[in-house]
Chain A
Amino acid sequence: MSTLAPSPAGRVGAAVSRTAADGPSLSYWIGFALVVGALAASPVVLPEFWQRFATEILIWGLLAMSSDLLIGYTGMVSFGHSAFFGLGMYGAATALLWAPRGGALASMWNVTPKLWAAMAAGLVAAAIVAVFVAYFSTRLRDIYFSITTLVFSQIFYVIIFTWTDVTGGENGLTFRQPPFEIPGLLSVRFSRNGLHWFVLAVVAGSYLLLRRITQSPFGMVLQSIRENEGRTRAIGYHVERYKIVSVMLSGIFAGLAGVLYALQNKFAAPDFVLFLISGEAVIFNVMGGMGTLVGPVAGAAFFLLMKEVFSRVFYEYYLIPVGVIFMLMVVFMPQGLLGFWRRQLNH
């Protein structure tokens, strides 16, 4: 989205010299610690309803961050993130419901820590789908990329919806929440707070990882693809390969968000593969500010908060006012809520 970025060439160049030299500043880390600290304290101080709300914001925030890697950093608007998110959910659910009968496999499976197995399965499922989608969709640019990703997510939706034997069709899959396990050390059931802290740890870790990715030389190439694809290719970078890896990474993080959501709610349902989820991921990005990683999380929080407030006035039609606000933001505030921090957040 080249028109949205401030002074193309200078920004990328400046970022390269800065991160390579000294990494993020002290004030950045203080801010990061404060936010994580506040989020960690939130389940203790907030009433029960808002507790759950905070956990959801983190999960949807992770989905938003994953699509920011594509939208904000590589300049490709994906309308197909629901496929990765949904496959993460179904991967985790299938692993938790899987029970091999007899033999060495069963005895091995019985001692496998289920939580980690479910997360691994969800990530693998999302990654496989991401490779497939990335291979085809990255050959196309701009709106063609958007349409292709949208079509792929619809294909997976139809498959999941109609393949009733494996996916449970319209009813989806329900399962018991696995305990939190560290092999050989402990195994405890998730309390509500425990789940929140677990999600917070995963999301904060993913944020740091994504930040590292976007600030690495690899991330700089992605940003230069966003600013000027032709020139990046002319310099000698294999643009298609970078795009494929970018879609795959983005898909894996979206899958992780799906796994967390499945663990929180103890089900996987076809509704979460439907394109509306992809649309919401894009909304989070636009509202919060593309290309900042933190912005999309703020966008997710803003969207969910508006959903909460407006559904008290408009009931299930809350998307009317939210849609109008979204359109106004597209027209008048394309940099989003945290767009003005873009420079600071990317140092």
Chain B
Amino acid sequence: MPFDQILVQIVNGLVNGMILALVASGLTLIFGIMDIVNFAHGDLFMLGAYMGTTVYLTTGNFWLALAGSVLGMAALGALLQVTALRPLVGRDPLTTILATFGLSLVIQNYALWQYGPVPRKLTEPVTGHFALFYVEYPWYRILIAVLSAAMIGALYLFMKYGKHGIWIRATTQDRVMAEAMGIPVPWVHTVVFAIGAAMAAASGVLFGPLVGINHAMGFDFTLKAFVVVVVGGMGNLAGSILASIFISLLESLASIWVSPAQAIIVSFVALILTLLFRPTGLFVPTPK
């Protein structure tokens, strides 16, 4: 096996891993705080990408498309949380899977209806390439990885030092106590869902130029994000980021030998092994 092919796949894996980390950290945030398993997360990602194409068509500017999509999806996320998920607070977490599954069907078919079955493409803002062994590697992919890392870093700083970030962490730790201390817990939930949706939208727009955007692409990401969140330890932000990179590297390396469709099985096997032998997650300290 040629050594440079492995190295190129490692770079690919890292880039895909950063996009996945951006999607998965939104999912983790939502799960950790609200116990909501968001089945529609990949569809928020897909809708965000489509929203990016709409803004791009009117303004012609990729960065405006990114900003517009992020703001639009944050607003939509807040609306969805208030209307569809708030009534389910305190019920069995399984009912939230059902509700978000319904949401996923609605969003997918709405996208199909609104944008049609022909995949759409976003144009990347940076078109240069550089030589990486035998391929001309696009700078844009590197940019995606850096931007994703920056956004996750910003989220981390916000959660660690921002006043509202501290509210969010307090709600995660103890919902009742947080409420008693005067934190408006229902609104914290809404804002967290909005942040999760916005991060999904950002990754959708960033990912858009790499593939054709279509209404069914969300499901793959929902599934991958689930895998990552479980492998990384449910509700653990750092764990899910590491797991994103780990899983994407596995898939990239596997795709040297098998077709990309079959490479997905590698990550599924990683999930099942994790669930069997270390159900608390690979990248978290062993609970006492």
Chain B residues whose CB sits within 8 angstroms of the CB of A265 once the complex forms? none
Fill in one digit per residue for B67-108: 1 if any A CB lies within 8 Å of its CB, else 0: 000000000000000001001100111110111011101101
Cβ-defined contact, A150 with B223, below 8 A: yes
Judge if B15 is at the interface, Cβ distance under 8 Å. Answer: no
Size range of the chain A interface in the assembly: 35 or more
For B37, B88, B101, B276, the residue with the greatest tally of chain A CB atoms inside 10 Å of its CB is: B101
Interface residue A144 (Cβ < 8 Å from any Cβ of B): yes
Binds B, one of A114-122, A135-143, A187-195, A338-346: A135-143
Collect the chain A residues with CB atoms within 8 Å of residue B93's CB.
142-143
Contact: A158 with B265, CB < 8 Å?
yes
Asked if B127 is an interface residue, CB under 8 A from chain A, the answer is: no
Where chain A touches its partner, the secondary structure class is helix
* Stretch of B6-14, B109-117, B197-205 at the chain-chain interface: B109-117
> How many Å lie between the Cα of A77 and that of B100 in the bound state?
14
Contact B95 A162 (CB under 8 A): no
Q: How far is the CB of A152 from chain B (nearest CB, A)?
A: 8
- In which size bucket is the chain B interface? 35 or more
Query: Could you give, for residues 280-316 of chain A, a 1 whenever the CB lies within 8 Å of some chain B CB and a 0 otherwise?
Result: 0011001000000000000000000000000000101
Bound Cα distance A197, B277 (Å): 48
When distances are taken between beta carbons in the complex, the residues of chain B under 8 Å from A279 are 101, 105
A162 near B97: Cβ-Cβ < 8 Å: no
Question: Among the listed stretches A10-18, A60-68, A248-256, A325-333, which one makes contact with chain B, having 4 or more residues with CB under 8 Å of it?
Answer: A325-333
Contact partner of B112 among A139, A152, A317, CB < 8 A? Answer: A317
For B113, list chain A residues within 8 Å (CB).
314, 317, 320
Known: A162-B259, A319-B109, A327-B99. A77 touches B94 (CB 8 A): yes
CB atoms of B275 and A4 under 8 A apart: no
CB nearest neighbor in A for B269: A155
- Report how many A-B pairs have Cβ atoms within 8 Å: 112
Q: Are B276 and A324 interface neighbours, CB within 8 A? A: no
Q: A4-B92, A148-B272, A324-B106 are in contact. Are A331 and B97 (CB under 8 A)?
A: no
Chain A residue contacts of B110, Cβ below 8 A: 317, 320
A106 at the interface (CB under 8 A from B): no
Contacts of A154 in B (CB 8 A): 223, 264, 268
Cross-interface CB contact of A151 among B87, B223, B259, cutoff 8 Å:
B223
CB-CB nearest 6 A-B residue pairs: A323-B106, A323-B105, A327-B102, A326-B102, A319-B109, A317-B113
On B, residues with C-beta under 8 Å from A are 37, 84, 87-88, 91-95, 97-99, 101-103, 105-106, 108-110, 112-113, 219, 223, 226-227, 230, 259, 261-262, 264-265, 268, 271-272, 275-276, 279
A-B contact pairs, 17 of them (CB 8 A): A143-B93, A144-B275, A151-B227, A151-B268, A154-B268, A162-B261, A279-B105, A317-B110, A320-B106, A322-B105, A323-B106, A326-B98, A326-B105, A327-B102, A330-B88, A330-B95, A331-B88
